[in-house]
Structure 1
Amino acid sequence: MREIYFIKQNKEKWLEIEQVIKGNIKKNPDDLSTLYINLINDLSFAQTYYPKSNTTVYLNHLSSHIFQKVYKTKRVERNKIFYFFGTEVPLLVYQYKRYLMYSFIFFILFTSIGVVSAIYDKEFAIIILGDEYVNTTIENIKKGNAVGIYQSGSTWGSTIGIIFNNVVVGAKMYLYGFFGGVGSLYALLSNSVMIGSFQYFFYDYGALQDSARGIWLHGVFEIFAMVVEAMCGLILGASILFPKTYSRFNSLKIGLKDSFKIFLSTIPFTICAGIIEGYVTRHALQMPLFLNIIIIFGSFGIIGFYYCIYPKIIYKQTTQIYTQNKLSDDGIL
């Protein structure tokens, strides 16, 4: 079937689903399930015959939102926080997974710019990091304590200050998405270039391994969360620039609500990063190397699984559950 006929054949049904998502049309749980199953069938057909079409993207968007409508109608007692972090956020991350990919691509690109700039301009690290920080760190490296900068101040005081600062930075990176996503990219650029030049600075002074043992203890959670926050900004910006079939205002409402939920999911990781930086990083070089490795790769495994693997698992599970339930309700199973 040609795509134009496929669209004409199902256009009215899809427009009705849009109205259901907006709340303009009320449906009972059975009718919602029927709409969802029909839409999944249309999506499967489109993915098979028009895999790179905007129609497929549109149907995937609709199916994600109608699924949430269906899921919320289930009369099941559940812990709201567990549902939020265990189901709602992963489904949203899966829905907007391409924005996470874009954010990672930009992060790698911008970090590379920081590295290359530091290679060709020895003063670049000073410009980015500041004279005092660079000079203090050079002295610490000469003393054999590359992460000495993290040992100043009290543990609890440093932790509170770090958490507050990181939450503010993350919130700015997200909210700058109101400027069409460009603001979020600029914030990501600033932080990524700093990371790239920062790491090359230690490499240039022969202290890359020692710095990695300390910095990446908290850096995994902090930087991965930063990438996700930039993703949220891109979602917000895209909802303004590309409203699709929605009005620009309704598109913004949907984008703001969805992106804010994903942003909230980064807060626990930001808090964990602050606690690790305040209490653990200062002891990084006194710790056994295997313990550094366990914390670093364990942190990467946790946050990487949550944002990159778990969403796909939840999406498949919930889709399968509702398909089975619908077949059962229809007497097929």
Structure 2
Amino acid sequence: MREVSFIKQNKEKWLSFEKAVFNNDFENPDELASQYIHLINDLAYAQTYYPKSKVIVYLNQLAAKAFQKIYKTKREDTNRIFGFWKTEVPLICYQYRTFIYVAIIIFLAFTFIGTISAANDGGFVRSVLGDDYVNMSLENIEAGDPVAVYKSGSNWGSFIGITINNLKVGIIAFVLGIFLGIGTLYIMFKNAIMLGSFQYFFYEKQVFWESVRGIWIHGAMEIFAIMIEAAAGLILGASILFPGTYSRYASLNHGAKTGIKILISTFPFTFVAGFLEGFITRYSNIMPHWLSVSIIAITLSFISFYYLIYPIKVQKKITQTLPTNFNFN
């Protein structure tokens, strides 16, 4: 069968199924499971006979959406909360991976702008970070402890205060996505510019390595989580700008639910980052170099694996094995 005929023959069925999945319009899980099997069969057929077709991408995305519904409705003994992070979030991240990539690229670009601005304007760092913070940092550098600011206060007090602040930043980054994503971009710009100028400041004062060992023990997860939260905000904004074949309200409703799930998924990482900043970072100047580097490498590897690599593995596993191994009863 020619590809055009294949698409023409199944187009209405796919669109109808997509609309049902999008609006959760199913009388029972068995109906959803039955149509899902037909969809998987169409996907397998397309992969076999039209390996370079764009229809494969479409069917893959639709299959991921359908599986999320099946996963919610089928009877199982697996803990729901565990399943949320194990399967549901990775599938969402795979489906919206472009937004995650874009958020990361934009954040890094803004960080680069902050670095370049600090390098070419002697007063830029003070305008961004404030005179009090810069003066305090200079005093700490002269005292031989560039990251002494992280040693102020008690362990628990720092942990709680920092975690609440980071949660607030992430929530704001998401919520402001309602302004067509512009609000999210502003939060990204503000934080990335501060990060770039902040790191250049330490580089200029020749204590860059000391700052990295301290700041990035907690910063690896903290900054990466902000980028993921920004991606959630961009999804929210895009749901308004590009509703597709759905009403703008329905698209916004779906975008908000999706973004909230991604936002919630970052909370454990934010808590870990807060714990590291409150209890571990303060000892960065006395711990062995290999230990601080190991903590940075492990935390960065874990969160980047979860949001960038693990979703691909989950999606691949589902599309390859689910039709024959998954029990819908």
TM over 0.5: yes
Q: In the alignment, which residue of structure 1 is the partner of 2:24? A: 23
Does the C-alpha gap of structure 1 residues 43 and 247 become closer, same or farther in structure 2, counting only changes over 3 Å?
farther
Partner Cα separation in structure 1 for residue 112 and residue 212 of structure 2: 17
Q: CA RMSD in A?
A: 2.0
* 1:295 alignment partner in structure 2: 295
What TM-score do you get using the length of structure 1 for normalisation? 0.91
What amino acid is aligned across from residue 121 of structure 2 in structure 1? D
Alignment of 1:1-333 (within 5 A): 5-21=5-21, 22-29=23-30, 31-43=31-43, 45=46, 48-51=51-54, 58-325=58-325
* Paired-residue identity, %: 49
Structure 1 247/56 Cα, relative in aligned 2: closer, same or farther at 3 Å?
farther
TM-score w.r.t. length of structure 2: 0.92
Question: What letter is aligned with 1:243?
Answer: P
Q: Deviations over 1:176-226 (max 9, x none)?
A: 111111211111011011101100000000000000000000000100000
| 1:17 CA displacement | 0.5
1:284-324: CA deviation from partner (whole Å, max 9, x where unpaired): 10111111011110101111111111111111222333221
- Paired residue secondary structure (1:48): coil
Q: Distance in 1 between matches of 2:71 and 2:79?
A: 14
Letter in 2 for 1:267: F
Which AA in structure 1 matches 2:99? Y
Q: What letter corresponds to residue 130 of structure 1 in structure 2?
A: G
**Partner Cα distance (1:42, 1:99) in 2:** 27
Asked if structure 1 preserves the Cα contact closer than 8 Å seen for 2:64 and 2:315, the reply is no
Q: Is the 8 A contact 1:19 1:25 kept in 2?
A: no
How far is the alpha carbon of 1:240 from its aligned partner?
1.0
The 3-state SS of whatever aligns with 2:51 is helix
DSSP-derived class of the 2:164 partner: helix
Distance in 2 separating the partners of 1:178 and 1:123: 34
Q: Which amino acid aligns with 2:223?
A: I
Structure 2 Cα separation of the partners of residues 111 and 2 of structure 1: 49
Greater alpha carbon shift after TM alignment, 308-317 vs 101-110: 308-317
Question: Structure 1 residue 60: deviation in Å?
Answer: 3.8
- Contact in 2 for aligned 1:240/1:252 (Cα 8 Å): yes
Structure 1 residues 5-45: Cα deviation after superposition (integer angstroms, max 9, x where no partner): 5543222202321342113342542x433422332354562
Secondary structure, aligned partner of 1:234? helix
Gaps of 5+ in 2: none
Q: Which amino acid aligns with 1:256?
A: A
How many residue pairs align between the two structures?
Answer: 324
Q: Which amino acid aligns with 1:214?
A: G
Kindly provide the amino acid, as one letter, of the partner of residue 143 in structure 2: K
Alpha-carbon distance in 2 for matches of 1:42, 1:68: 19
Tell me, in whole angstroms, the C-alpha distance in 2 between the residues paired with 1:61 and 1:262: 17
SS in 2 for 1:158: helix
C-alpha distance in structure 2 between counterparts of 1:205 and 1:193, whole Å: 18
* Aligned AA (1:159): F
Aligned equivalents of 1:108, 1:313: Cα separation in 2: 25
Structure 1 stretch displaced more, 258-267 or 41-50: 41-50
Change beyond 3 A, Cα 1:72–1:320 = farther
C-alpha contact 2:87 2:314 (8 A) present in aligned 1? yes
